[in-house]
């Protein structure tokens, strides 16, 4: 499990994700999260990922060996106006010395999406975050991975 400083780091990281929640699907057969009010499911990742319970985050995992975390969420009440790249880049708010390495529109499962990678400083630690945002008619889905 993460140390106290890792937990603070993850808590701050997951707070960033509250701006636009996220979602992705994994190939595992073990369903880790479903929410009847939201039209999706998240399967548990394989490997040494420990489930974290963080308020207002649909699902979050930490891999102590990799010193990496991932988080998922969805917001079906969010304002979906605006450029998809702007939506995904909002996941990086709070990073100091933020540098966007990559930002592009993509199609995931026939849905409009964007992916971006940023490097920066968070809690005096250098991190890289890879994020995806997917928009459909009803919701914004986000996934973020940090290491």
For residue 123, pLDDT beyond 90: no
For residue 133, pLDDT beyond 80: yes
- This prediction has a pTM of 0.67
Tokens 């707070």 -> residue: 15
Q: Residue 21 — very low, low, confident or very high, per pLDDT cuts 50/70/90?
A: very low
Q: Residue 39 — very low, low, confident or very high, per pLDDT cuts 50/70/90?
A: low
Q: How many CB atoms lie within 10 A of CB 118?
A: 21
Q: Which of 139, 146, 20 is nearest to 91 (CA)?
A: 20
Q: 85 near 114, Cβ under 8 Å?
A: yes
CA atoms within 13 A on the CB side of 42: 23
User: Given CA atoms 13, 16, 21, 22 in this order, what sign does their dihedral have?
Assistant: negative
More confident residue, 111 or 31: 111
Domains annotated on the chain, with CATH: 4-146 (3.40.1000.10)
Q: How many CB atoms lie within 10 A of CB 136?
A: 17
> How many Å apart are CA 132 and CA 67, to the nearest integer?
20
């Amino acid at each position: 499990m993460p140390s106290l400083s890792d937990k603070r780091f993850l808590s701050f990281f997951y707070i960033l994700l509250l701006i636009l929640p996220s979602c992705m699907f994994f190939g595992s057969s073990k369903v880790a999260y479903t929410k009847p009010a939201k039209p999706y499911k998240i399967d548990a990742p394989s490997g040494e990922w420990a489930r974290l319970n963080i308020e207002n985050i649909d699902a979050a995992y930490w891999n102590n060996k990799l010193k990496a975390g991932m988080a998922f969420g969805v917001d079906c009440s969010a304002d979906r106006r605006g450029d998809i790249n702007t939506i995904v880049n909002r996941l990086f708010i709070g990073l100091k010395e933020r540098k966007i390495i990559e930002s592009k529109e993509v199609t995931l499962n026939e849905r409009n999406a964007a992916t971006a990678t940023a490097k920066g400083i968070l809690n005096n630690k250098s991190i890289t975050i890879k994020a995806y945002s997917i928009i459909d008619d009803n919701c914004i889905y986000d996934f973020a991975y940090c290491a």
